[in-house]
Structure 1
């Protein structure tokens, strides 16, 4: 992987930084890692690692490509890539100066709070997954603030993009790089965006995406009315239409109206304690969002709905462009593959310190994330050398002892 960094003198700090991410410790920011990696020369190591992550002009894309080239063949030895998982992850932050920080939804906290949010693309097989793209979401107030952009080092060509737009760009780049294609999987935060779904289809990929209960759909066998017949005057009408007696319905209402025979129990995988199973219905529908601006109805897709036993109503909804011949079990298996992204985030944050970077700049934020992903890829590759086992992760590593006189910056003088 070091060959992708551009200069030979970056190899040593690269190895030190990734070693620091691997070693145990409560914080994986630069100074604590420098103290663990080189306890005899903490200040010099701190300067070297800080320059490498915050200042050095190496390419995140080049290193991520090297990680992908090294790790994907190892993952594919045990099974094909089955899903491209789009998601975003929040990193809680205080203050207003860290690049991209704003009050927005933070998944880690489960609520609106001050945080940074990054959009990611992961490639998932049944047994492992690897993030291959990681990009900070820059809220519009940040994107429009020239002074804050300049101070944080945001590149001039970075304009405001929504999260689905960032995700589509990541998907497009992965296709151009020749990454093995698979079904795109997202939660409802992306699945409700019609332009995002259309973009995936235009790129030639199928999807299984979460949607909200309020998403409007044409029920099985129904579709919009044809354009009005031409009256003989003016231009002929070209847009499909609705009327008060002929309208789409919310996904929840459609699901609740399905007969009992539409629901079947489906098992999708073995969990840590029990077999994971639930009740699902799958019907062919047409998405209806703003279709009155179209000359033809949208193509049919699958609506997949989960209604756990004991719940008063269905809890999860998906739209999918998988083949009309796809079995219900195969569709459920595909939709549920999204659990792998939660494992990625858990390991990247809890084991490798993805959210621990303390710098404020654009370059440092992305360099730190790329180095975390490189370290994660290394561990996936190491794990691939062992027979399948639940006991390999996390690695049991020991940090070297700190010198007796070591004190972090800002600590009070013992005297």
Structure 2
């Protein structure tokens, strides 16, 4: 089937989620514009390329649709998932990948902007940060939830909240708390069972790991080298036996001097070199990617002296590349005890798929190009970018690799067209 006919069917599928019929033309137009291989994908350039001779009118309708119109981002993204997921083959594994991405921003008025770590810059700077949940297989991945992280200085400032249109129900939440809510919502909407993957920014949070387990999901998550665990075969001491004295019997586990958990780095350094074996996990651009790994069964120790029974054992996976003076990465995993180290490595390294999502969404679909300042516009633009990207993911899976620039050509602009915000045009860009 011709891709344009299929894209029209896809857009019709999406339109079922947005309510009023007068929004349909804007959703179709916005997604069509996002598919164009143009450099900037904020509202005004989209309008200019969609209707070069009616830029002002088209700009106004698209701006209202993305910044003001009250349609559900969650409903739209669920509809995208329903279209794409049947194209994804879970036979080799299905994963939930949790991550966050940053957008450098100047000024302080755009919603959620604060000085914080920005992955795109690799340092602390003024930026917005959004948390995403993606469903992934070996061949593809797709964000299915996306929410702006609202720093505490924003969450607790009524004036800034009102100006940016932050909903009353949105309170301060850490990134791991946002991610757990996304996972819980996905499960309640019928999303499939899958292994949860996340970096140490999430995996080092004991409450996050516990919440994943409470959802009935396995995880393989990064942790910091300072995370403390009980080595193989070691656990907290049981409670002191009752002496027969009056009072409530003691039930909590104990730690005593000389019987303590250890940092995973110290445990890794103490292992015999024979415990580390070279494992390859996938083909890179030039050669197979490989490194040295060790895996052992441990128990985490966070607040276990407030528990009556030991925690279950789980895997500690350690990566120590040849040439490095110490291990570089650590993961905890609740995959079954019989799991071989090669599979542990394969699962842990599946997080790389999210990098493809962010690269395409930012470079091909303008994820960071929204120029408004409000909460609703930020999320509407992102949902529409993900919707357009979802179609491309489905096409790649069904027809082989295809770049966005190969599926649409750019309409010509009028010779007298002057972009908004240029030196020859006084209007403000939105």
User: What CA distance in whole angstroms lies between the structure 1 residues aligned with 2:141 and 2:337?
Assistant: 27
Q: Counterpart of 2:412?
A: 401
Q: Counterpart of 1:20?
A: 33
Q: Deviations over 1:316-346 (max 9, x none)?
A: 1000011001111111111111000011000
Q: Counterpart of 1:107?
A: 119
Q: How far 1:81 sits from its partner (Å)?
A: 5.3
Q: Counterpart of 1:200?
A: 212
User: What CA distance in whole angstroms lies between the structure 2 residues aligned with 1:334 and 1:325?
Assistant: 14
Q: How far 1:79 sits from its partner (Å)?
A: 4.5
8 Å CA contact retained: 2:225, 2:330: yes
Give the alignment partner of residue 326 of structure 2, picking from 313, 317, 333: 313
> Could you tell me the TM-score, scaled by structure 1's length?
0.96
Structure 1 residues without counterparts, runs of 5 or longer: none
Q: Which moved more, 1:231-240 or 1:33-42?
A: 231-240
Give the alignment partner of residue 365 of structure 1, picking from 378, 381, 390: 378
User: What CA distance in whole angstroms lies between the structure 2 residues aligned with 1:256 and 1:81?
Assistant: 32
Q: Counterpart of 1:213?
A: 225
Q: Counterpart of 1:413?
A: 424
Question: 3-state DSSP class of the match of 1:66?
Answer: helix
Q: How far 1:35 sits from its partner (Å)?
A: 1.0
User: What CA distance in whole angstroms lies between the structure 2 residues aligned with 1:413 and 1:334?
Assistant: 54
User: What CA distance in whole angstroms lies between the structure 2 residues aligned with 1:22 and 1:333?
Assistant: 33
Q: Deviations over 1:168-209 (max 9, x none)?
A: 111111111111111000000000000000001111000000
Q: Deviations over 1:143-166 (max 9, x none)?
A: 111111111111111111111111
User: What CA distance in whole angstroms lies between the structure 2 residues aligned with 1:198 and 1:187?
Assistant: 16
Q: Counterpart of 2:177?
A: 165
User: What CA distance in whole angstroms lies between the structure 1 residues aligned with 2:423 and 2:350?
Assistant: 49
User: What CA distance in whole angstroms lies between the structure 1 residues aligned with 2:119 and 2:358?
Assistant: 11
Q: Cα distance 1:394–1:81, how it changes in 2: closer, same or farther (>3 A)? A: farther
User: What CA distance in whole angstroms lies between the structure 1 residues aligned with 2:88 and 2:193?
Assistant: 14
Q: How far 1:268 sits from its partner (Å)?
A: 1.1
Give the alignment partner of residue 358 of structure 2, picking from 323, 345, 349: 345
8 Å CA contact retained: 1:81, 1:180: no
Q: Cα distance 1:81–1:354, how it changes in 2: closer, same or farther (>3 A)? A: farther
Q: Counterpart of 2:84?
A: 71
Q: Counterpart of 1:117?
A: 129
1:40 pairs with 2:40: no
Question: 3-state DSSP class of the match of 1:342?
Answer: helix
Q: Cα distance 1:73–1:201, how it changes in 2: closer, same or farther (>3 A)? A: same
Q: How far 1:7 sits from its partner (Å)?
A: 1.9
Residue correspondence of structure 1 range 229-268 to structure 2 within 5 A = 229-233=241-245, 234-268=247-281
Question: 3-state DSSP class of the match of 1:266?
Answer: strand
8 Å CA contact retained: 2:42, 2:370: yes
8 Å CA contact retained: 2:231, 2:299: yes
User: What CA distance in whole angstroms lies between the structure 1 residues aligned with 2:93 and 2:313?
Assistant: 26
What is the number of equivalent residue pairs in this alignment?
A: 410
Q: Counterpart of 2:105?
A: 93
Question: 3-state DSSP class of the match of 1:385?
Answer: helix
8 Å CA contact retained: 1:283, 1:302: yes
Q: How far 1:80 sits from its partner (Å)?
A: 5.6
User: What CA distance in whole angstroms lies between the structure 2 residues aligned with 1:79 and 1:383?
Assistant: 18
Give the alignment partner of residue 292 of structure 2, picking from 279, 284, 303: 279
Aligned-residue CA RMSD in angstroms? 1.4
Structure 2 residues without counterparts, runs of 5 or longer: 1-13, 426-430
User: What CA distance in whole angstroms lies between the structure 1 residues aligned with 2:414 and 2:27?
Assistant: 23
User: What CA distance in whole angstroms lies between the structure 2 residues aligned with 1:200 and 1:339?
Assistant: 21
Q: Counterpart of 2:342?
A: 329
User: What CA distance in whole angstroms lies between the structure 1 residues aligned with 2:410 and 2:351?
Assistant: 34
Question: 3-state DSSP class of the match of 2:224?
Answer: coil
User: What CA distance in whole angstroms lies between the structure 2 residues aligned with 1:286 and 1:169?
Assistant: 26
Q: Cα distance 1:80–1:268, how it changes in 2: closer, same or farther (>3 A)? A: closer
